[in-house]
Amino acid sequence: MAVALWCLFNPPEFLTLDTALSESSGQWMLFGWLAIWTIVSRLCLTLDTIPHLALGGELVRDQHGRSQLFSINAILGYTTGALFTFIAWPIFLSGETIGADGAVVPNHLKAASYGPLSFLAGAAVFISVSLRAAGTFSRVKFLSHAPANAERLSLLEFGRNVHRCRQQVGWRPESRANST
């Protein structure tokens, strides 16, 4: 996830040169780079978030404790994201640079500003994910296990279950229209 985040904000120089961007193929190559690394970063985020949230449900058995755990998780996530923004702006993106031609360029428009910023963001992501994994590793032995004699759910049986659920009164559109 950290590498994908860094790559997203640091495309290779040959993709960002004026000569490459003046051609349609160069723009498509830059678009491809950004699209691929956006998808990879979202995939990594998904592969981290789903087990993280599932583990949260296993760590605390009662619903009040689970609500507290997920509330703390959300508060910490939103707070650190906002703090990172407020810290990153004055350190990496504020101010102006005067170019060799005398033009004033705001630092938030300079590509060079995003290299250190994305490195710091990637390091923060790597450290937080590592700390979270290390902190919950000792709880793995206490997680619930599926019964040994449990029957595996086939795709066909899953489809039947979905169909049965949709046959219930609350799922039918006409029953929802009548209830209001």
pLDDT at residue 169 is higher than 80: no
**Region 32-58: what's the mean pLDDT?**
91
The one-letter code for the residue type at 106 is P
Instruction: Identify the band that residue 171 occupies on the pLDDT scale cut at 50, 70 and 90.
Output: low
pLDDT of the residue at 37: 95
Give the count of beta carbons closer than 10 Å to the beta carbon of residue 8. Answer: 21
How far CA 98 is from CA of 89, 93, 111, 117, in Å, comes to 19, 14, 14, 20
CB 122 within 8 A of CB 2: yes
Instruction: Identify the band that residue 176 occupies on the pLDDT scale cut at 50, 70 and 90.
Output: low
Q: What does the alpha-carbon distance between residue 18 and residue 111 come to, in Å, rounded to a whole number? A: 13
pLDDT of the residue at 109: 76
Query: Which stretches of the chain are DSSP H helices?
Result: 2-9, 13-16, 18-21, 24-59, 63-88, 114-136, 155-167, 173-179
How far CA 162 is from CA of 157, 158, 172, in Å, comes to 9, 6, 13
**Domains of the chain: which residue ranges?**
2-153
Per residue in 112-158, pLDDT tens?
888 899 999 999 999 999 998 898 888 888 888 878 888 888 999 99
Q: CA 119, 29, 7: angle at the middle one, nearest 5?
A: 10
- Residue 175 vs residue 63, higher pLDDT: 63
